[in-house]
Amino acid sequence: MSPGTRPLVLGNWKMSLTGTEAAVYVRSLLPRLGSPADREIAVAPPFTALAAVAAQLKGSTVKLAAQDLFWEDEGPYTGEISGVMLQDAGVTYVLVAHSERRRHLEENDRLASLKMRAALRSGLCPILCVGEDEAERAAGRAERVVRTQLALGLEGVGPGEASRVHVAYEPVWAIGTGRAATAGQAAEMHTLIRLELRSLFKTGAAAVRILYGGSVTPQNVDELMGSPGVDGVLVGGASLKAEEFARIAAYRVAR
């Protein structure tokens, strides 16, 4: 973990739970989470459940996140959701260029850059997702892929905005497969990301939290969070099970 950084644990529900189901789930989850002061917790429901979840989170310390946004603030873009709308809905964090959107919807680094700037413009804290797939890692290209995604995705973002920027390293080969990166692999890539951020943001890079995402479970979270440079976790499937997500949020790092 980076010195002085308050970690972030964020649950990405993906395309799961209706508004009614989400409200029931949050009511079950909140008592299990408590109100820890040394870490931040957030959940990212689908757009249709944002209002229901926001209502349940009132009075709690858990933050609301969104899974995506459009790169314009308003206009003739049928089916899209702007950062302005998300901010108005009570959203704090928003994922940008998640690997599933890169893979299934062909989102690229140019769109990631536009979305990062739209999020910042709207007062949100964007989380840029980067990571290599299995073939790229096997070919020895993992570092090059991540560096490129960072450089292009953060293009146009100034050092003065770095304190609101987050990065999530999510090795594509680990997402939904049960094959999380080892603590050593995570630490190695998080170190590379931090160096790249320093080249982009200079001293402002110290304020950027770098999360790990990819088959995070109650069984591996303690080791992952104890890895150098890991400032939080982006949780997928396990965030849909209240007991599992609560245990992840209550990770324990050996001193």
Query: CA-CA distance, 5 to 229, in Å (whole number)?
Result: 10
What span, in angstroms and rounded, lies between the C-alpha atoms of 122 and 124?
6
Say if strands 93-96 and 125-130 run parallel, antiparallel, or are unpaired: parallel
φ, ψ of residue 74 in degrees (nearest 5):
-170, 170
Is residue 80 flagged as an active site residue? Answer: no
Contact between 216 and 224 (Cβ < 8 Å):
yes
The catalytic residue among 170, 190, 196, 244 is: 170
CB under 8 Å to 151, separation ≥6 — which residues? Answer: 196, 200
H/E stretch holding 172 reads none
Q: Closest by alpha carbon to 126, among 235, 44, 46, 37?
A: 44
Residue 104 appears among annotated catalytic residues: no
Instruction: Identify the active-site residue in 40, 98, 107, 196.
Output: 98
Residues belonging to the active site: 98, 170
